[in-house]
Amino acid sequence: MTDPAPSARILASRRRFLAAAGLAAPAALAAPAIVRAQAPIRWRLQTYSGAPLGAHVIKPQVDAFNIAANGEMEIELYYADQLVPTGELFRALQNGTLDAVQSDEATMASPVDISVFGGYFPFATRYSLDVPALFTYYGLDEIWREAYDEVEGVTWLSTGAWDPLHIFTVNRPIRSLADMNGLRVFGVPTAGRFLSRYGLIPVTVPWDDVEVAMRTGELDGVAWCGFTEAYEVGWADVCRYALTNSVTGAWFGSYFANTESWNRVPPHLQQLWLSTIDQSHYYRAVWYWGGEAKLRVEGEKMELTSIPPEEWAQVVRDAEGFWDEVAGSSPRAGRVVQAFKDYAATMEAAGYPYR
C-alpha cells in the first residue's frame, strides 16, 4: 500500500483534531429527549465560505448547536452564494431573508464605516491571537457594537481569527514586487485594494467557480487565504507557487444576526449560540495555526517563493500610509487604526514571545 502524501497525512491528522475538539461529534452534547408541543425556532444562516472550508469553519458548530438546542431551535446552514450572492449578504440579513451570517464586513458589503477592517487589513495582525486580544483589550468590541447599533436590523455578535493571507499563483511565480503586475487574482476587497498599487488585479467570481477560473486562465491565482484553505479546498492542486510573504497574519471574521430574529430567541438559546461561537473560534485558531506551519513546511504541492526583504520592507512602509489614509475616512475608523498602532507598539515593547 502506498503511503499517503505529506499533505494528505497532515489534513487527516487535523480532521482527527476536529473530532477531539468535540465539534465533529455533536451527539455527545445531546440532552435527554423531551417531547415539545411548540414548533422549533428555525434560522437560515449563510456563510461566506464554500462547502469544503465550511466543513471546518461553521458546520461543526451548527451541528453541535442543533443537537444541544434539543428541538427548541434549528439552524439551516447554507454555503457561499447558495441563497444569495456573497456581496448581498448584508442586505439579505437586514431584510430578513437570512437570520444569520458568518462573514467579514468587506466581503459582505456592510454599509458601516469600519467595513474596510473586516477580512484582511494589511499588517494589522501577525498572529491569530492578535484578533481576540484587540477586541478584548483594545476596544474593538465596543467599536464594532457601536457601528452596528447605528444600522437598522443587523446585530453584530462576535469576531474571531481565521488564517493569514498569502498569494497562490497557477503558472507565474512571484519573486519580486514587479511580478505582481497584471496578475488577476480572486481576493478579499481590502487586501485587493492595497495590493492593486503593485499591479495586482482583484477579480470577483463566485467562490465555487474559483478553481475552474484558474484552470481556464480567467484567474492567475488567489489572494484570499492561507495554506490551510489552499490545501483543504483543492486550490493547491491547481496552483504551482505559494508566496511566503504574508500581507497580514489573521483574517477578521464575524457572526451577525438579523435583529428581530435575534430578539425572538430566548436568552438560554442566545447564550448557547454565543458559546458555540466561542468554541468555534477556539477550534479554528488551533486548526489554522498548526496546519499553516505544517503545510508550509511539509506540503508538497506548491513551490515556495519569496519577495526579497528589502522590497518587502517597502510594502510595509506603504501600509503605514494606507493605515493613515483609512484613518482619515471617519472618526471611528481613526479609532480602529489608533488601536492597531497602540497594540503593535505594546507587542513590540513586550518582545518575545509577542514579537
Asked if 141 and 58 sit in the same domain, the reply is: yes
Mark whether 205 and 286 lie in a shared domain.
no
Residues of the chain with pLDDT under 50: 24-35, 37
**139 and 35 in a common domain:** yes
331 prior amide bond cis, ω within 30:
no
The helix, strand and coil proportions of the chain, stated in percent and rounded to the nearest 5, come to: 50, 15, 35
Rounded-to-integer distance, Cα 220 and Cα 91, Å: 31
Task: Decide: residue 175, CB within 10 A, 0-12 exposed, 13-18 middle, 19+ buried.
Answer: middle
- CA trace torsion 117, 120, 122, 126 (10° rounding): 110
Q: Is residue 344 situated within a structural domain?
A: no
Q: What pLDDT digit, counting tens, does each position of 151-210 carry?
A: 999 999 999 999 999 999 999 999 999 999 999 999 888 999 999 999 999 999 999 899
**Residue 331: exposure state from Cβ atoms within 10 A (0-12, 13-18, ≥19):** exposed
Identify whether 262 is part of a domain: yes
**By the 8 A CB rule, do 184 and 213 touch?**
no
H helical segments located in the chain: 6-20, 51-57, 59-68, 89-94, 105-108, 130-137, 140-149, 189-195, 210-216, 227-232, 259-264, 267-298, 309-327, 331-350
What's the domain count of the chain? 2
- Average pLDDT, rounded, for the chain: 92
Domain assignment present for residue 340? The answer is no
Q: Could you tell me if residue 203 is inside a domain?
A: yes
**Same domain as 211, residue 139:** no
Which pLDDT does position 21 carry in this prediction?
Answer: 53
Task: Return the pLDDT at 20.
Answer: 52
Nearest-5° Cα angle at 191, 209 to 168? 50
Instruction: Tell me the pLDDT tens digit for each residue of 15-41.
Output: 555 555 555 444 444 444 444 547 899
Q: How is residue 173 written as a grid cell?
A: 511565480
Q: What CATH number has the domain bearing residue 261?
A: 3.40.190.170
- How far separated are the first and last CA of the chain, in Å rounded? 45
Q: Which residue has the cell 480572486?
A: 186
Residues 119 and 189 sit within 8 Å (Cβ to Cβ)? yes
Residues 216 and 254 in one domain: no
Residues 130 and 192 placed together within one structural domain of the fold:
no
Q: What is the pLDDT of residue 111?
A: 96
Q: Is residue 121 part of a domain?
A: yes
Domain region containing 82: 6-162+250-296
Taking each helix axis as running N to C, give the angle between helix 331-350 and helix 140-149, from 0 to 180 degrees, rounded to the nearest 10. 170
Helices and strands, number each (H, E), in the chain: 14, 11
Give 101's strand partners: 46, 256
- Please check whether residues 55 and 199 belong to one and the same domain: no
Q: Considering only CA atoms, which of 355, 317, 324 is closest in space to residue 341?
A: 324
State residue 13's pLDDT score: 63
Q: What is the CATH number of the domain that holds 208?
A: 3.40.190.10
Please tell me the predicted confidence (pLDDT) of residue 38: 75
